[in-house]
Amino acid sequence: MRKEKGLVQWFFAFVAVVCLVGSLAPGSAAPTTGTPTYGDALQLYQKGRSLEGAGRQADAERSFRSSLAIVEQLLLLDPSNADLVNLQCWDLFRLGQHKDVVLKAQKLLQTKDDYRVEETMAESLYFLGQTDEALRAFARYMAKAPATDERLSSAYYYMGECHARLKQYEHADIAFTTAVTLEPGMYYWWYRLGWVREALGFYRQAYDAYSKSLALNPDFKSAKEGRQRVKAKADL
C-alpha cells in the first residue's frame, strides 16, 4: 500500500513538471522539448543574468521566475537535491526574495553541508541587514569552499561591506583588497576599497584605488569625487 501511494505521488509530480512546459512565460520557455530538466532551469537562470546585464530587468525577472518554476517542480521529486536547492536560492536571490533564500538554505543545511548554499544565504543575510549572521555564514563558507570557487571574490566583497557597515574599516580594507585581487575588473569594488582607505586616513592608497575604479569606468561620479577629495590630502 505504501509503495502504491509513493508511485501515485511520483506520478502527479511528474505530470506537474510536464505541464509546466506549456506555462512558461513567452520568450522564456525551456530550450528543449519534453520534461524540463535542471539544465533547462540553469540555462534560464543564466539567460536572466544576461538580460540583467543588458538592462532588461523585467525580461530578466520573467526568466528567473521560469527557472524557479522548473526547479520547484523538480524538487517535488528530489527535495534534498543540493544542486536544485542551490539554483532555487539563486533564482529567489535575483528576484529579491531574501527571506525565502534564508529559509530554503537553512532547511537544506540542516541535513547537508553545502558551501554554495551557505554563500548564497550569507549574501541574502547581508541584504536583510543581519550583518553579524552574514559574517558568520561567510566564515563557514570560507572554511568549506575550494580556492577555485567562482563565488569567492564576491564573498570577500560582501564581507568587506559587512565590516564597513560595522565600521570595522581595517577588516573591510583586507576583505576588499582580497576581492579586487581575485577579480580586478570590478570598478565598484575598487571604489569601495578607496572609500574604506579614505576612512582610515590612507589617502594615497585611497587615491590609487579611486584611480583604478575610474580606469575601469571613467564616468563613475562617486570615484571622481572621492579621488578629488583625497588628492590634496595625499599631497598629489
What's the pLDDT tens digit per position in 62-97? 999 999 999 999 999 999 999 999 999 999 999 999
Grid coordinates representing 177 are 583588497
Residue 22: predicted pLDDT: 41
Give the residue ranges of the chain where pLDDT is below 50: 1-32
State residue 46's pLDDT score.
97
Q: According to the model, what pLDDT value does residue 108 have?
A: 96
Rounded to the nearest 10°, the torsion over CA 113, 119, 125, 128 is -140
> What is the structure's pLDDT at 25?
42
* Confidence at residue 33, expressed as pLDDT on a 0 to 100 scale: 54
Q: Which residues contact 226 (CB under 8 A, 6 or more apart)?
A: 191, 194, 195, 198, 206, 210
**Confidence (pLDDT) at 106:** 97
Domains, the chain: 1-79 (no CATH), 146-236 (1.25.40.10)
The gap from C-alpha 206 to its chain's centroid, in whole angstroms, comes to: 27
pTM: 0.83
* Sequence-separated (6 or more) residues with CB below 8 Å from residue 195: 164, 206, 226
Tell me what pLDDT residue 30 has.
43
Percent of the chain with pLDDT strictly greater than 70? 86
Cα distance between the two ends of the chain: 82
Q: Give the count of beta carbons closer than 10 Å to the beta carbon of residue 183.
A: 15
